[in-house]
Amino acid sequence: MDEKILVQRAVTGDKEAFAGLYTRYKDSLYRYAFFKLGNDNDAQDALSDCIVAAYRSIGSLKNAATFSAWIFRILYRCCCAYVRDQIDQNARADIAALERVPTEDESRLSVEVQEALAQLDPLDRDIVLLSTVAGYNSRELSSILGIKAATIRSRLSRSLKKMRTFLE
For residue 168, the SS3 value is coil
First-to-last alpha carbon distance for the chain, in angstroms, is: 45
Task: Please check whether residue 142 is in contact with residue 152, taking contact to mean a CB–CB distance below 8 angstroms.
Answer: yes
Task: Please check whether residue 111 is in contact with residue 104, taking contact to mean a CB–CB distance below 8 angstroms.
Answer: yes
The string of DSSP letters for 35-64 reads HHHSSHHHHHHHHHHHHHHHHHHGGG---G
Question: Which helix (DSSP H) or strand (DSSP E) does residue 115 occupy?
Answer: helix 111-118
CATH number of 102-168: 1.10.10.10
Name the residue with higher pLDDT: 138 or 111.
138
112-119: long-range contacts at Cβ-Cβ below 8 A with a sequence spacing of 24 or more?
A: 112/167, 113/163, 113/167, 115/166, 116/162, 116/163, 116/166, 116/167, 117/35, 117/163, 119/162, 119/163, 119/166
As annotated, the residues of the chain forming the CATH 1.10.1740.10 domain(s) are 1-100
Q: Report residue 12 CA to chain centroid gap.
A: 26
Asked if residue 107 has pLDDT above 60, the reply is: no
Say what the pLDDT of residue 99 is: 47
Residues with Cβ within 8 Å of 117's Cβ and at least 6 positions away in sequence, in order, are 35, 101, 109, 125, 128, 129, 163
Say what the pLDDT of residue 95 is: 40
Spatial separation of the C-alpha atoms in residues 67 and 64, rounded to whole Å: 6
Across the chain, the runs of DSSP E, i.e. the strands, are none
Of the listed ranges 87-91, 108-112, 115-119, the one predicted with least confidence: 87-91
Say what the pLDDT of residue 2 is: 87
Residues with Cβ within 8 Å of 39's Cβ and at least 6 positions away in sequence, in order, are 102, 106
Q: What is the pLDDT of residues 71-106, one digit of tens each?
A: 999 999 999 888 877 766 654 444 444 345 555 455
Q: What is the DSSP letter of 66?
A: G
Q: What is the pLDDT of residues 32-56, one digit of tens each?
A: 999 888 888 899 999 999 999 999 9
Q: Place 137 in a pLDDT band, splitting at 50, 70 and 90.
A: confident
Average pLDDT, rounded, for the chain? 83
Architecture of domain 1-100: Orthogonal Bundle (1.10)
As annotated, the residues of the chain forming the CATH 1.10.10.10 domain(s) are 102-168
Average pLDDT over residues 13-40: 90
